[in-house]
Amino acid sequence: MKKLIAIIMVVLLAPTASAQQWESLFNGKNLKGWTQRNGKAVYKVEDGAIVGYTVVNTANSFLCTNKTYGDFILEFEFRVSEGMNSGVQFRSESLKTYQDGRVHGYQFEIDPSPRAWTGGIYDEARRGWLYPLTKNPAAQSAFRHGDWNKVRIEAIGNRLRTWVNGVACADLLDCMTPKGFIALQVHTIGKNKAEEGRPVAWRNLRICTKNAAQYATPEDSSVPQVNTIDNYVSPREAAEGWTLLWDGKTTEGWRGAKLTAFPEKGWTVDNGILKVLKGNGGESSNGGDIVTKRTYRNFILSVDFKITKGANSGIKYFVDPNLNKGEGSAIGCEFQILDDERHPDAKLGVKGNRKLGSLYDLIPAPDKKPFNINAFNTAVIIVRGHHVEHWLNGTKLLEYNRDDQEWNALVAYSKYKNWPNFGNAAEGHILLQDHGDEVWFKNVKIRELDD
């Protein structure tokens, strides 16, 4: 009897779907509680839905809630014309101090085009794509053309997740904006009169803000997660074996390539960014290169970097600091970091093997590659035994095998020909290069792999 009473009490006290408190964002009759910003698209209430119509010669238009929201679960339905781009902003802002009030922030993408990125997360008027559905191709078929689509967005703490018609789409960790309004976007069509008057509609908009975390969707590790929080290893990344190679705060774990301690000049730690400062443009002539205190064998190395115009630098691996005690940089295989358009080194070497992303002076990266000189870019180096790959912003640039006849012949015709057994060491240090130009680094992470 006591056991039965206990079970009944648990059932009565446990949270239920009916206990979840929802607030309607739209009364079904008018646009009370909403304010239009930026563009001049036309918003109307039709058949219990908010419908936005495209207008020529106007910017992106946003119908914004007057209230702001932090942690929440948002649900709604939408229907969009074929080929029309749209979206729903969340945790977004419009500030006079930011591009004269331009709406910016997280956007749930509505994309009926063949690209099929509906459900991805875009950072409107700020950083661009944070979670394109190239990260989760399985979700690209969730959108239903010409029909109403059901959406769920969970913004809880630093975790942002989306669903389309019950299919999990995006799982993003980001901490830039903790609170903001929700807005319905009608995308600009420029001067294209043929596109004027095309509709996108939203209905059944409701939000849960009370105890949102309690009603969050259970964990689904099959959905790829993207972590954009600087110098942070997420629980999922930690479980996969990722660790910070630089902690974002100190110089712990690093030293000068030709020193026993970290350089006293030429490098700074500034607000989560490791900066090599501008010198005279020479190799290791200011603060000098820095290397990890320990060596690495098989690994995936990820480094975010940003270069100033005309800058030269590099990420080296299999570095032996004892090989070169004289002038110049320490010796190792190098992922070249370079402003190809402005630095003269891009025109040297053989077939472009000194350009950005190349295995410096050995194997060229493609001329066309994803790179933005005005933003941070992500370099990834993968080493599995003798096989090595270079990646830039999610695109593989090159791969090669070392310590074989072809490799040794390649080295023999490079600037490394006089360094014994170059590139063939079983393990080595990882290096960030001082080449006399200002370059920034952050999110230096490594995942060691089994032999």
Judge whether 290 and 411 are in contact, CB under 8 Å: no
Enclosing H/E stretch for 122: strand 121-124
What is d(CA 44, CA 33) in angstroms, rounded to the nearest whole number? 14
* Domains identified in the chain and CATH numbers: 18-221 (2.60.120.560), 235-448 (2.60.120.560)
> Which phi and psi (to 5°) does residue 408 adopt?
-65, -35
Kindly state the average pLDDT of the residues 130-155: 97
User: Which structure tokens are listed for 186?
Assistant: 């009608």
User: Which structure tokens are listed for 155?
Assistant: 């913004």
Q: How confident is the model at residue 325 (pLDDT cuts 50, 70, 90)?
A: confident
Enclosing H/E stretch for 412: helix 405-412
Residues in contact with 154: Cβ distance below 8 Å, sequence separation at least 6, in sequence order: 72, 73, 74, 160, 161, 162, 212, 216, 217
- In tens, the pLDDT along 105-118 reads 999 999 999 999 99
pLDDT for position 328: 79
Kindly state the average pLDDT of the residues 289-302: 97
Lowest model confidence (mean pLDDT) among 10-19, 32-41, 203-212, 259-268? 10-19
Q: What percent of the chain has pLDDT over 70?
A: 96
Alpha-carbon torsion, ordered 88, 123, 74, 158, to 10 deg: 180
Lowest model confidence (mean pLDDT) among 5-14, 19-28, 101-110, 423-432? 5-14
For residue 332, give the 3-state DSSP assignment: strand
Residues in contact with 303: Cβ distance below 8 Å, sequence separation at least 6, in sequence order: 315, 378, 379, 380, 432, 441, 443, 444, 445
- Residue 80's alpha-carbon distances to 1, 32, 178, 214, 317, in angstroms, are 57, 23, 29, 32, 49
Kindly state the average pLDDT of the residues 275-295: 88
What is d(CA 108, CA 31) in angstroms, rounded to the nearest whole number? 21
Q: C-alpha angle with apex 401: 396 to 404, nearest 5 degrees?
A: 165
Residues in contact with 302: Cβ distance below 8 Å, sequence separation at least 6, in sequence order: 378, 379, 380, 443, 444, 445, 446
* Token pair 């789409």: residue: 169
pLDDT for position 36: 98
Judge whether 378 and 370 are in contact, CB under 8 Å: no
Examine the pLDDT at 3 and tell me if it is beyond 60.
no
Judge whether 72 and 207 are in contact, CB under 8 Å: yes
Kindly state the average pLDDT of the residues 295-322: 96
pLDDT top residue among 285 and 386:
386
Kindly state the average pLDDT of the residues 366-370: 94
pLDDT for position 300: 98
Judge whether 287 and 276 are in contact, CB under 8 Å: yes
Quick one: which of 172, 144, 160, 168 has its CA closest to 78?
144
Lowest model confidence (mean pLDDT) among 111-115, 129-133, 327-331? 327-331
First to last CA, the chain: 59
- Residue 275's alpha-carbon distances to 7, 172, 248, 361, in angstroms, are 60, 27, 11, 25
Alpha-carbon torsion, ordered 19, 22, 23, 25, to 10 deg: -170
Judge whether 290 and 267 are in contact, CB under 8 Å: yes
DSSP string, 181-231: EEEEEE---TT-GGGTT-EEEEEEEEEE-TTGGGGPPPP-TTS--EE-STT
Q: What is the mean pLDDT of the chain?
A: 93
Examine the pLDDT at 19 and tell me if it is beyond 70.
yes
- In tens, the pLDDT along 346-363 reads 999 899 999 999 999 999
Kindly state the average pLDDT of the residues 119-131: 96
pLDDT for position 283: 76
Kindly state the average pLDDT of the residues 16-44: 91
> Which phi and psi (to 5°) does residue 91 adopt?
45, 50
Examine the pLDDT at 279 and tell me if it is beyond 90.
no
Examine the pLDDT at 277 and tell me if it is beyond 70.
yes
